[in-house]
Amino acid sequence: MTRPDDRATTASEWWRGAVIYHVYPLSFSDSNGDGYGDLAGVTQRLDYIKSLGVDAVWLSPFYTSPMRDFGYDVSDYCDVDPVFGALADFDALVARAHALGLKVIVDQVYSHTSIDHPWFQESRRDRSNAKADWYVWADAKPDGSPPTNWQSVFKASAWTWDARRRQYYLNNFQSDQPDLNVHNAQVQDALLGVAKFWLDRGVDGFRLDAINFAMHDPALRDNPPVLGDAKRLRPFDFQHHIYNQSHPDIPLFLARIRALTEAHGKIFLVAEVGGEQAESEMGLYTRGADRLHSAYGFQYLYADQLTPSLVRACSDRWPDQDGEGWPSWAFSNHDAPRVVSRWSKNRDEVAFAKLALLLLVSLRGSVFLYQGEELGLPQGDVPLESLRDPEAIANWPHTLGRDGARTPIPWVADAPNAGFSHGAPWLPVDPTHRMLAVDVQERNDASTLHFARRAIDLRRRLPALRTGGIRMLDTPEPVLAFLRGEGRDALLCVFNLGARPAAWKPDGDWDVVEAFNAPLDLSKELPGLAGIVARRR
């Protein structure tokens, strides 16, 4: 029985167990034919997003930007880049989403700006201006080399020389993405002002990009090297990133963000946390009532195969203890190769896409569904001459890069550019995606799209899937089984992650609620790539 106070808590914590649809606006829908997706295009497709049964939309950056990193290099936090439209288009999007019952989450990029941001232009002018300490500046070593050995994610040294200041500035990503000095209280105040600007425009949550890069070691100590046989494709991979990120004062800034958002009501705060310290940082950033609500990392996003041990390990990191935050999970996003291409391993891609969808909605936590995941899109094929991702271009051909996960969504199979745009798209449409277009799948009741709606609806209908606890069961590889919820209301979730049939029988009597590629009788052998959700008889 649900008590009135339980209902109030559920309403205020709408994000707990929510399914959040991740939109990468550049590649979602182009309303004006210039080849770039825009906010008006997203608004035109909100009815489709609503039809999936999701709770919220997360928008990747649409702020003013020179687009050298496609929006994650912000030059004006409080305006919309003309590529995406104008502030009026954002307001219209929020109004339409709210009318449909959808929450809106936006990215906040607090670790760095674009080199074109007015803050940086003032900061680099000299060493005595009002914003001289708003970015991370340091003198060269006596021989002219960078202040530390820190390496950037995308290229080599994390330091770039600036002749105006005759100093180096820190850039943990690209050289035209200088790092903000978030130790500076004035910088924190300015970023909180950015947050308030978007809160006042009606957003329902923030996803904090690369937040563990927001503060550096002021003592500028060198990072230690990675020893042994570690895989090294970039200079970044040669060291442990202890001093250029993950500073222990970051949670104090997160507490200031939480205090601001608490004054605006039911605001969801989720952090993106990557790197070798991600496990401890996700816990640190979400522990207690004055931190973020949730965090997600790259455990699934960078895993090259899906195994029961991976799922168990991810679940074990969030043991549901007092004061603990709430996990979030993503199998695909704009920074990682699509899940079907990473995990299917030459198996039936449609079957694997459905299996992954059922598993995702069965996990304890909130889940992010990346645009096209509901269609079972594989990684798009982008030839070298069409690449736009600076990481892919810099490291070709040794990293897949991100362009293949960002190719345009196919809406209409037979339309020019698969219905994404009337103009030449910024990234090419993969021809193999046309057969997976929305219009094709809408006409096929057995499609991945229809199965995605069933899976999301299952999570909405069964509270144990949305907010219940999780307990892993002992199973032989490649069978994964766990319980969601407690007592008579518990649900059994069983998956054969292998390609061949596997035998496993649960204790007790169960009735199947949802099944994919599986028998209704749980005493029978599980076919390969089978998934089952069942309730107690």
The predicted structure's pLDDT at residue 359 = 98
Q: What percent of the chain has pLDDT over 70?
A: 97
CA 159 – CA 138 distance, rounded (Å): 9
Q: How far is CA 30 from the centre of its chain?
A: 22
Report cis status (omega within 30 of 0) of the bond before 478.
Answer: yes
pTM of the model: 0.96
Please give the structure tokens belonging to residue 359: 């598993």
Q: How far is CA 48 from the centre of its chain?
A: 21
User: Phi and psi at residue 426, in whole multiples of 5°?
Assistant: -65, -30
Model pLDDT for residues 13-36, shown as the tens digit of each residue: 999 999 999 999 999 999 999 999
CA 441 – CA 412 distance, rounded (Å): 10
Delimiting residues of CATH 3.20.20.80 domain(s) in the chain? 4-111+184-457
Is 88 within 8 Å of 103 (Cβ atoms)? no
CA 88 – CA 95 distance, rounded (Å): 10
DSSP 265: S
**Pairing relation of β-strands 268-272 and 205-208?**
parallel
| Distance in Å from the first CA to the final CA of the chain | 20
| Apex 451 CA angle, 457 and 407, nearest 5 | 110
Say what the alpha-carbon torsion angle 46, 205, 269, 533 is, to the nearest 10 degrees.
Answer: -30
CA 493 – CA 487 distance, rounded (Å): 15
CA 404 – CA 385 distance, rounded (Å): 13
Is 177 within 8 Å of 114 (Cβ atoms)? yes
* Of 329-333, 385-389, 472-476, the least confident: 385-389
Q: Give Cβ neighbours of residue 77 (< 8 Å, ≥ 6 apart).
A: 63, 113, 191, 194, 197
Delimiting residues of CATH 2.60.40.1180 domain(s) in the chain? 469-536
Q: How far is CA 119 from CA 129, 131, 161, 381, 442, in A?
A: 11, 7, 18, 38, 48
Q: Give Cβ neighbours of residue 140 (< 8 Å, ≥ 6 apart).
A: 146, 147, 161, 167, 168
Higher local confidence (pLDDT), 521 or 84: 84
CA 59 – CA 39 distance, rounded (Å): 9
CA 47 – CA 45 distance, rounded (Å): 5
The hierarchical CATH code for the domain 469-536 is 2.60.40.1180
Provide the annotated active-site residues: 209, 272
Q: Give Cβ neighbours of residue 505 (< 8 Å, ≥ 6 apart).
A: 522, 523
Q: Please state the rounded mean pLDDT for residues 396-418.
A: 89
Q: Give Cβ neighbours of residue 479 (< 8 Å, ≥ 6 apart).
A: 308, 494, 495, 496, 497, 498, 502, 504, 526
| 186 pLDDT higher than 50 | yes
The predicted structure's pLDDT at residue 384 = 83
Is 481 within 8 Å of 506 (Cβ atoms)? yes
CA 62 – CA 60 distance, rounded (Å): 7
CA 458 – CA 466 distance, rounded (Å): 9
How many Cα atoms sit within 13 Å of 461 on the Cβ side?
Answer: 11
Fold of 4-111+184-457: TIM Barrel (3.20.20)
The predicted structure's pLDDT at residue 399 = 63
Residue closest to 497 by CA, chosen among 521, 530, 457:
530
With tokens 């060493």, the residue in question is: 127
Strand order, beta sheet including 167-170: 137-138, 167-170, 159-162
Mean pLDDT of the chain: 94
**Pairing relation of β-strands 294-296 and 159-162?**
unpaired
The predicted structure's pLDDT at residue 109 = 98
CA 477 – CA 38 distance, rounded (Å): 45
DSSP 359: H
Residue closest to 162 by CA, chosen among 178, 174, 182:
178
Q: Please state the rounded mean pLDDT for residues 81-91.
A: 98
| Beta bridge partners of residue 59, listed in sequence order | 23, 106
The single-letter code of the amino acid at 109 is: V
* Of 72-76, 220-224, 389-393, 478-482, the least confident: 389-393
E-assigned strands of 24-62?
56-59
The predicted structure's pLDDT at residue 394 = 73
The predicted structure's pLDDT at residue 520 = 87
The single-letter code of the amino acid at 272 is: E
The predicted structure's pLDDT at residue 250 = 98
Residue closest to 295 by CA, chosen among 272, 322, 262:
272
| 391 pLDDT higher than 90 | no
Q: Please state the rounded mean pLDDT for residues 179-183.
A: 98
| Apex 417 CA angle, 415 and 423, nearest 5 | 110
| Beta bridge partners of residue 472, listed in sequence order | 482
Report cis status (omega within 30 of 0) of the bond before 337.
Answer: no
Model pLDDT for residues 443-485, shown as the tens digit of each residue: 999 999 999 999 999 999 999 999 999 999 999 999 999 999 9
The predicted structure's pLDDT at residue 3 = 34
DSSP 328: E
The predicted structure's pLDDT at residue 5 = 36
